Amino acid sequence: MPASPRSASIYALHRGGVSAILSDGGAGRGCGQNPIRGPAALRPMERMCAGQNRLCQPPRPLQILKIGANDIIVKKCKWMICLLAVALSLGLGQTAQAYERAVEITVDGETLSPAAFAVDGVTYAPMVALLDAMGGWDTTWDRVSRTATSETDRFTLAVPVGQRYVAVDGQRHTISAPNLIRNGRTYVPLRAVAELLGAKVTFTSWSAPVKVTTGESGSYSQEDLYWLSRIISAESQGEPLAGQIAVGNVVLNRVAHSDFPSTVKDVIFDTKHGVQFTPVANGAIYWEPTAQSVKAAQMALEGSNTVGKSLYFFNPSLSQGTWIVQNRTYHSTIGNHRFYL
Co-location of 149 and 180 in the same domain: yes
Cα(16)–Cα(94) distance, integer angstroms:
53
Taking all residues of the chain, what is their mean pLDDT, rounded to a whole number?
A: 75
Calculate mean pLDDT across residues 155-181: 86
Cα(65)–Cα(44) distance, integer angstroms:
21
Those residues with Cβ within 8 angstroms of residue 58's Cβ, 6 or more apart along the chain or in another chain: 13, 16, 17, 20, 45, 48
Cα(87)–Cα(80) distance, integer angstroms:
10
Residue 250 has pLDDT above 80, yes or no: yes
Co-location of 74 and 115 in the same domain: no
Lowest mean pLDDT among 30-34, 103-107, 285-289: 30-34
**50-54, 70-74, 213-217, 308-312: which is most confident:** 308-312
The pLDDT-based confidence of 58 (bands split at 50, 70, 90) is: low
pLDDT at 84: 57
Residue 341 has pLDDT above 70, yes or no: yes
**Number of residues written out for the chain:** 341
Domain that holds residue 178: 101-213
Measured CA distances, 119 to 27, 96, 97, 194 (Å): 57, 9, 9, 17
Co-location of 82 and 127 in the same domain: no
The pLDDT-based confidence of 81 (bands split at 50, 70, 90) is: low
Closest CA to 230 of 304, 294, 300, 311: 294
- Residues 226 and 234: beta-carbon distance below 8 Å: no
Co-location of 243 and 262 in the same domain: yes
Lowest mean pLDDT among 2-11, 42-51, 120-129: 2-11
User: pLDDT tens digits, residue range 90-146?
Assistant: 544 444 444 788 899 999 888 888 889 998 889 999 999 998 888 778 889 999 999
Mapped onto helix, strand or coil, the DSSP state of residue 118 is strand
From 213, 233, 263, the end of a domain falls on 213
How many structural domains are present in the chain? 3
Co-location of 125 and 188 in the same domain: yes
pLDDT at 216: 58
User: pLDDT tens digits, residue range 199-238?
Assistant: 888 888 888 889 998 865 557 888 999 999 999 999 988 8
Co-location of 74 and 129 in the same domain: no
β-strands 210-213, 105-107: how paired?
parallel
Cα(11)–Cα(308) distance, integer angstroms:
80
Lowest mean pLDDT among 79-93, 151-165, 253-267: 79-93
CATH of the domain at 145: 3.30.457.10
Residue 30 has pLDDT above 50, yes or no: no
Task: Say which DSSP state 260 is in.
Answer: S
From 80, 95, 110, the end of a domain falls on 95
Mapped onto helix, strand or coil, the DSSP state of residue 164 is coil
**62-71, 177-186, 234-243: which is most confident:** 177-186
Residue 264 has pLDDT above 90, yes or no: yes
The pLDDT-based confidence of 186 (bands split at 50, 70, 90) is: very high
- Residues 230 and 284: beta-carbon distance below 8 Å: no
pLDDT at 176: 82
Q: Is the dihedral of CA 38, 42, 47, 53 positive or negative?
A: positive
Co-location of 119 and 204 in the same domain: yes
Co-location of 53 and 120 in the same domain: no
pLDDT at 178: 93
From 213, 244, 259, the end of a domain falls on 213
The pLDDT-based confidence of 21 (bands split at 50, 70, 90) is: very low
Within a 10 A sphere around the Cβ of 20, how many other Cβ atoms?
A: 19
Co-location of 140 and 30 in the same domain: no
Cα(89)–Cα(173) distance, integer angstroms:
36
Calculate mean pLDDT across residues 78-101: 55
Co-location of 232 and 202 in the same domain: no
